[in-house]
Amino acid sequence: MAVMRSVFYVPSNNEKMVGKATSIEADILTLDLEDSVPPAEKARGREEIKKYLDSSRASQKAKYLYVRVNNWETEMTNDDLEAVVYPGLDGVCLAKCGSGENVKRLDWKLEELEQRRGMKVGSVAIQLLIETAKGVINAYEAASASCRVNSLIFGAVDFTKDMRVTLTSEGKEQLYARFHTAVAARAAGCVAIDCPYVAFQDTEGYKKSTEEGRQMGYEGRMLIHPSQIEPSHEIYTPSAASIEWAEGVKKVFEEEGIAKGTAAVTYLGKMVDTPVYENAMQILRTMEEIRAADAK
């Protein structure tokens, strides 16, 4: 599973920002063709992305390169994909995904482009932005519609607009959809990525909100400012204490439990059974994935 602690967005039509994008040390760099790019600038954005793939992709510090494309209802998706699906692209993010049919259509188009351009079929992953009422209700269906889907992003700004409510930093109006998207992602075997925190100068508020999202099951966050990258990585990376605990649980359960035919043992004064052991193993696997991605 790809490491997606930070997903940083750059407007693709802004030549200056795209030029500086190679220095962004996020897990995923996303060049945007959707909301941050005015309709009259879409063609220019596509050209800038192709230039980036040709000349800058190899030197970027971000681990992966994605492009956010417009949803099918705009009738711009096909042009977006034709312009950006080339070697070097790791994934596409489909904006305002509302159904599994949206995803199946995208999967088909990606396969056609991969074959036509000599790319490995399946090499371009799909990320889904869940940001409408319809999208939330159909989140699991959409996530399960293609084996390319590796992650769901909850988009709070468009969701609150669709629900005709006010977006707040506290986020009470988002709770149902935020929880639901995380559960849908996990049920489909995908990574759940949390919504942007728009008050980017509120560092403490950002950390609190991100920690709350982590407890909901989110494993990364969509970011709008470089200052959010470091705290995002810190929160979504297992702490030294949790790694030490996981290693201790693994050792005790395997040596005192599994080896001796017992399904429950004691560690640091607390019972450790199979679910606790599996939780510890997940922490260790997550850390292995992060180290592997960092070494890439």
With H, G, I as helix, E, B as strand and everything else as coil, classify residue 266.
strand
Average pLDDT over residues 34-52: 96
Q: How far is CA 75 from CA 71, 101, 105, 138, 203, in A?
A: 8, 15, 13, 21, 38
In a domain, 272, yes or no: yes
In a domain, 215, yes or no: yes
Neighbouring-strand partners of residue 192: 152
Contact 154, 182 (CB under 8 A): yes
Contact 94, 128 (CB under 8 A): yes
Round to whole Å and give the CA distance between 26 and 182.
21
Average pLDDT over residues 196-211: 92
In a domain, 62, yes or no: yes
* pLDDT for residue 1 is more than 70: no
In a domain, 1, yes or no: no
* pLDDT for residue 293 is more than 90: no
Domain count, the chain: 2
The full DSSP string for 101-154 is HHHHHHHHHHHHHHHHTTPPTT-SEEEEEE-SHHHHHTHHHHHTS-TTEEEEEE
In a domain, 142, yes or no: yes
User: 12: domain CATH number?
Assistant: 3.20.20.60
Res. 244 pLDDT band, cuts 50 70 90: very high
Same domain, 266 and 217: no
Same domain, 33 and 85: yes
In a domain, 109, yes or no: yes
Same domain, 67 and 94: yes
Same domain, 161 and 286: no
Domain boundary among 236, 256, 279: 236
Round to whole Å and give the CA distance between 182 and 190.
9
In a domain, 182, yes or no: yes
Pairing of strands 91-94, 6-11: unpaired
Residue range of the domain that includes 28: 6-236
The structure tokens 């679910």 sit at 275
Same domain, 229 and 253: no
Same domain, 160 and 265: no
Same domain, 212 and 274: no
* pLDDT for residue 188 is more than 90: yes
Average pLDDT over residues 229-240: 95
Tokens (6 digits) for 290: 């992060």
Same domain, 88 and 201: yes
With H, G, I as helix, E, B as strand and everything else as coil, classify residue 214.
helix
Domain boundary among 236, 262, 284: 236
pLDDT of residue 257: 85
Same domain, 81 and 194: yes
Same domain, 216 and 276: no
Same domain, 50 and 181: yes
Per-residue pLDDT tens digits for 73-94: 999 999 999 999 999 999 999 9
* pLDDT for residue 54 is more than 90: yes
Domain boundary among 208, 236, 264: 236
Closest CA to 159 of 132, 194, 192: 132
Same domain, 230 and 275: no
Round to whole Å and give the CA distance between 43 and 181.
32
* pLDDT for residue 118 is more than 90: yes
* pLDDT for residue 2 is more than 80: no
Does pTM surpass 0.95? no
* pLDDT for residue 214 is more than 80: yes
